[in-house]
Amino acid sequence: MAKGMREIKRQIKSVQNTKQITKAMEMVAASKLRKAQEKADAARPYAEKLKEVVASIATGTKGIKHPMLETRPVKKTAYLIITSDRGLAGGYNSNVLRAVTATLAERHSSQDEFVLFVIGRKGRDYFTRRGYALADTVTDLSDSPAFADIKSIAYNAVRGFEQSDFDELYICYNRFVNALTQIPTVDRLLPMAAPTATEASLTASYEYEPSAEGVLEVLLPRYAETLIYGALLDGKASELGAKMTAMGSATKNASKMINELTLTYNRARQAAITQEITEIVAGANAQV
pLDDT in tens, 212-223: 777 777 788 888
**Same structural domain for residues 88 and 159?**
yes
For residue 34, the domain's CATH number is 3.40.1380.10
Angle, helix 212-287 to helix 2-60, in steps of 10 degrees = 170
**Is 13 a member of any domain?**
yes
**Is 199 a member of any domain?**
yes
Number of domains in the chain: 2
**Same structural domain for residues 52 and 175?**
yes
Quick one: pLDDT band at residue 169, thresholds 50, 70, 90?
A: very high
**Is 114 a member of any domain?**
yes
In three-state form (DSSP H/G/I as H, E/B as E, the rest C), the secondary structure along 128-156 is HHCCCCEEEEECCCCCCCCHHHHHHHHHH
**Same structural domain for residues 206 and 147?**
yes
pLDDT in tens, 57-68: 766 566 567 777
**Same structural domain for residues 261 and 197?**
no
**Is 212 a member of any domain?**
yes
pLDDT of 272 > 80? The answer is no
> Do the beta carbons of residue 152 and residue 225 sit within 8 Å?
no
* Residue type at 224 in one-letter notation: A
For residue 22, the domain's CATH number is 1.10.287.80
pLDDT in tens, 124-144: 999 999 999 899 999 999 888
* Distance of alpha carbon 228 from alpha carbon 231, whole angstroms: 5
pLDDT in tens, 182-210: 899 998 888 877 655 555 555 556 676 77
**Same structural domain for residues 222 and 177?**
yes
**Same structural domain for residues 8 and 93?**
no
**Is 99 a member of any domain?**
yes
**Same structural domain for residues 227 and 252?**
no
**Same structural domain for residues 97 and 109?**
yes
**Is 286 a member of any domain?**
no
**Is 288 a member of any domain?**
no
Q: 33-42, 199-208, 252-261 — which is least confidently predicted?
A: 199-208
Radius of gyration, CA atoms only, the chain: 28
**Same structural domain for residues 168 and 266?**
no
Range of the domain at 276: 2-26+248-281
Angle formed at CA 117 by CA 146 and CA 150, multiple of 5 degrees? 10
**Is 175 a member of any domain?**
yes
**Same structural domain for residues 100 and 67?**
yes
**Same structural domain for residues 11 and 31?**
no
